[in-house]
Structure 1
Amino acid sequence: MALIDVVVSDIVQETSTVKTFYFARPDGTPVGRYSPGAHIDVVGPTSLTRQYSLCSRPDDGDTFAVAVKREENSRGGSVALHELAVGDILQISEPRNVLAIADSATHHVLVAAGIGITPMLSMARYMDVHGISFELHYFSRTEEDAAFLPLLRDRCPEKLFTHLGVDREQQESLLVTALEKAPSDTHVYVCGPEGFMDKAISVAERFVAEAAVHFESFHAAAQADAVQNDSFEVELDGEIYEIPADKSIVEVLDENGVEIDTSCQEGICGTCTMTVLAGVPEHRDNVLTKAEKEAGELIAVCVSRCAGKHLVLDYY
């Protein structure tokens, strides 16, 4: 995927561990608008590529903003970004969206925990300005840890429900209360830590259709060791490619000169998604929805494999 050069135009310390970084084009031209809920790839100072949700105003084309939580136990991406200074140059991708606002919904329930507030912030700001019915449930350990809470309280206080320091059991009860009274054709959007998301998605599916539950995860699913994998073959444009146990589909295609857009290489961004024309995929990603996985018509070729011996793929 093509990358563009940007300059860090501003940095805001939101909490003790969260900074917002504003990116602008070096020549001063607009970076462009984006659809609420979108994310970008950011190539950090250590050359690691990570995905971050955009949290600036979607209709403000001058700059993009991402909020990054410093994770001391990460592989270095967030720590390196926290060392950035105004004026530094880095590269980002064009925005992509796996958490888009559903046009068919009559009401939207946004559920965020911790740094999962970032995509919800852009969605809430857009829906508030455009008169779209929504409510935002924001879970955080403490008020001091809740990034953007003052902004949300100022802009949409009547649509904001803040839940501070509640345990997992209380979280479920609060979500049940919110969703059991939701109007028909409500859609639910979830982002946060993995355990929280699993619980929130499970609760949401008790009250709305599975297809009406949307989520975004930047946590890679655990992958099996190569010794547990089976080899198989992939057919693309009439050519057959052997996929050994120790290589992914995208690795083999790349070695053979087949250009497939990739980014995370962990099954969390959706960039490498391809269409399945025949065969049964073995899904190992964290980006396709449950319905998409059950349909078996798409596959994230950076991590997922084949449940049989042969897959026929096409470009998505």
Structure 2
Amino acid sequence: MSTLELKVIAVTEEAPMVRSFELASTAGDDLPGYSPGSHIRVSLPNGDDRPYSLVNLDPGVEPTQGGSRYRLGVRLEEASQGGSSFMHGLKPGDRLSVTLPKNDFALIDGPAPVVLMAGGIGITPIASMASALLRQKRDFILHYSGRAQGSLAFIAPLRALLGEKLIEHYDDLSGGYLDAGVLLSAADPESHLYVCGPKPMIEAVQAAARQRGWPEERIHFELFTPPVAQTGDKPFEVEIASSGESFTVPVGKSIIEVLEAAGQDLIYDCQRGDCGICQTDVISGEPDHRDVVLTDSEKASGKVMQICVSRAHSAKLVLDL
């Protein structure tokens, strides 16, 4: 996989627990262009990597043409598995190895109006979309929600940039979470919907949109919450149908992690359960679905699963691999 060698140019405190990082080529070269919604994967010292969305808050800049800097926004997670804690330890002059930009959350061209919804650090890809929509003079609105005033990253430049196109929601002032149903009921039914944030927010928005008859091809989402172990998780067995080999998936490890460590060649990307690339047919067993890709009927069928985040209710799964 092609990589870029970058250095940290600046680190800025954007909100409590959120920092932005400006990155430039160590060789002084221009960086490859990217489209709104793109991410890069940053290599960690332990050999793992983490995806972070590229942020553009300047509608006068066309990022697809490339430029001298990349900008990331990273929240320090309380249960960090190494990614956010590593990033928050960076200082100007530090060096990083990253992948080329990739987009699994692309903004669709066309005249249709757009509803953008972001929760917390999910603003990072959404901010780039808002800049692009301004540049394209398209009709859109951005709903940005957080737990409390002062918690939202990039809020000052977003206010200056978007004016009335930005609607802020604070749980502590409103007495609860953003009501997706009310917002979507007031939206143009021909709109494309883009939502990024924690899993409960995405699931609530998906349910509200489907209840109102929005077709799946106009509902776009990206999950910004890494998978975490849940109370009651247990080890389970995975059998590969093509070879008959069986592997134990312990608590705290994904099916992908276990199979890849055993030498299996797998296709995947996000490892958060939102891109659908790792979708696998289930021959037998009962999956424990933890993705935001499958519809309720697909989950109920038990015939497919996302092996990056989902586990098993049964003691064993047989997968079509």
Q: Give how far 1:277 is off.
A: 10
C-alpha RMSD of matched pairs (Å): 3.5
Equivalent residue for 1:242?
245
Matching residue's letter, 1:61: G
* Pair 1:116 & 2:116 matched: no
Equivalent residue for 1:171?
178
Alignment check: 8 A CA contact 1:192 1:217 kept: yes
Q: Helix, strand or coil for the counterpart of 1:4?
A: strand
Q: Distance in 2 between matches of 1:242 and 1:105?
A: 51
Structure 1 residues 202, 252: CA separation in 2 closer, same or farther (over 3 Å shift)?
closer
| Alignment partner of 2:240 out of 233, 238, 249 | 233
Structure 1 residues 180, 12: CA separation in 2 closer, same or farther (over 3 Å shift)?
same
Equivalent residue for 1:158?
164
Equivalent residue for 1:24?
24
Q: Give how far 1:99 is off.
A: 2.1
| Alignment partner of 1:197 out of 196, 199, 202 | 202
Structure 1 residues 298, 73: CA separation in 2 closer, same or farther (over 3 Å shift)?
closer
Equivalent residue for 2:141?
135
Q: Give how far 1:178 is off.
A: 2.7
Q: Distance in 1 between matches of 2:177 and 2:274?
A: 31
Q: Distance in 1 between matches of 2:304 and 2:100?
A: 22
Equivalent residue for 1:273?
278
**Bigger shift: residues 5-14 or 160-169:** 160-169
Q: Helix, strand or coil for the counterpart of 1:245?
A: strand
Equivalent residue for 1:5?
5
Equivalent residue for 1:74?
80
Alignment check: 8 A CA contact 2:195 2:202 kept: yes
Q: Helix, strand or coil for the counterpart of 2:64?
A: coil
Q: Distance in 2 between matches of 1:221 and 1:105?
A: 39
Give CA-to-partner distance per residue, 1:136-167, whole Å, 9 cap, x none. Answer: 01112444222112212222213111223444
Structure 1 residues 284, 302: CA separation in 2 closer, same or farther (over 3 Å shift)?
same
Give CA-to-partner distance per residue, 1:241-285, whole Å, 9 cap, x none. Answer: 523233766457546655335566x54464962565988994645
Q: Distance in 1 between matches of 2:240 and 2:177?
A: 48
TM-score normalised to the size of structure 2?
A: 0.78
Q: Distance in 1 between matches of 2:127 and 2:238?
A: 43
Q: Give how far 1:103 is off.
A: 4.0
Q: Helix, strand or coil for the counterpart of 1:117?
A: helix
Q: Helix, strand or coil for the counterpart of 1:92?
A: strand
Q: Distance in 2 between matches of 1:267 and 1:146?
A: 22
Q: Helix, strand or coil for the counterpart of 2:194?
A: strand
**Bigger shift: residues 243-252 or 12-21:** 243-252
Q: Give how far 1:231 is off.
A: 3.9
**Bigger shift: residues 292-301 or 196-205:** 292-301
Q: Distance in 2 between matches of 1:169 and 1:142?
A: 11
Gaps of 5+ in 2: none
Alignment check: 8 A CA contact 1:292 1:298 kept: no
Structure 1 residues 78, 275: CA separation in 2 closer, same or farther (over 3 Å shift)?
closer
Q: Distance in 2 between matches of 1:118 and 1:96?
A: 15
Matching residue's letter, 1:273: C
Q: Helix, strand or coil for the counterpart of 1:139?
A: strand
Structure 1 residues 37, 297: CA separation in 2 closer, same or farther (over 3 Å shift)?
farther
Alignment check: 8 A CA contact 2:280 2:307 kept: no
